[in-house]
Amino acid sequence: MPKLSIITVNFNNAEGLNRTIQSVAEQDFSDLEYIVVDGNSSDDSVAIIKKHESVVSQWISEPDTGVYHAMNKGIGMATGDYLLFLNSGDHFYKVGVLSKIEKYLTAEDLLLFDIHVTGQGKDFIKKHPDSLRFSYLFEETFAHQAVIIKRSLFESVGLYDESYTIVSDWKFFIHAVKQGASYKTIHEVLTTYYLDGMSATAEGTFKRRAERETILTTEFPQFYEDYKERELLKMNRFKALAELEKSKAGRKITSGVLRLLLRIFRNKSVKDL
């Protein structure tokens, strides 16, 4: 069976790190490697790692420039055929879940599992789509804590872009899909992700949107207008129109109103519409 490398990046989150390592210790897998990349934490993180050295295969604690720099370090240390990034604080959904998904590690480049999302008054299961469309990645991304990635994909696509702070995994997945990476969606809940990180804050949401737009305008300009149209269609007024369009009477009403408005504001006759 293929070898799986689990990579955890951590910075000053000793409590969360301890939870993550204990979760890995509770798993069964025929060939498992566990790597912890610590960013020179000043709390008890290193002591936690040393306490669990029977579980941790490799670890380092040194300064880095951010989460993607740390993740790239982990990729460089990994020897597995497949990689899974399980951030400090997150954990496997239940004991022994890895043994249940081992059979799926066969040929695909990306294995997309379900993920339990909790925190900030929310608690739900995020499911990846069975049939992937490029439009899905305009407004969504794969939950990387629940995506097992073939290591060779980082050789063909490249490592995470360290110039971004939040969306480099999103950028990586877009390029992978664009280059024809194979994938399989498995509806098995693999991990639990807590909404307490930077990306879950209002500041993180704003930064994520700004970084995504930068990537789309510089690397995918042909798709940028589609992206802006999708953003517009998410507005409440268009959602209301979409609901009206679901019924025959609603379609007649919206058609009549829109034709009248176009006539008024564009000075066109109804027969021209």
Query: 108 in helix, strand or coil?
Result: coil
The pair of three-digit structure tokens given for residue 96, joined into one six-digit string: 């022994």
- Is 90 exceeded by the pLDDT of residue 131? no
Written as six digits, the tokens of 226 are: 């589609």
Whether the full predicted model's pTM is greater than 0.75, yes or no, is yes
Look at residue 16 and tell me whether its pLDDT is greater than 90: yes
Tokens of 268: 């066109």
CB 78, CB 7: distance < 8 Å: yes
Both tokens of residue 222? 């042909």
- Cα(187)–Cα(113) distance, integer angstroms: 6
Q: 214-223: per-residue pLDDT in tens?
A: 888 888 776 6
pLDDT for 203 beyond 80: no
Q: Where are the alpha helices (DSSP H) in 57-167?
A: 67-77, 97-101, 136-139, 153-156
CB-count exposure of residue 107 (10 Å: 0-12, 13-18, 19+): exposed
pLDDT digits (tens, 9 = 90+) for 204-262: 667 777 888 888 888 877 666 666 665 555 555 555 656 666 777 766 776 676 676 66
What pLDDT does residue 56 have?
97
Dmax (CA) for the chain in angstroms is 78
pLDDT, tens digit, 9 for 90 and up, residues 68-86: 999 999 999 999 999 999 9
Name the phi and psi angles at 149, rounded to 5: -115, 130
Rounded to the nearest integer, the mean pLDDT of the chain is 86
Secondary structure class of 56 (helix, strand, coil): coil
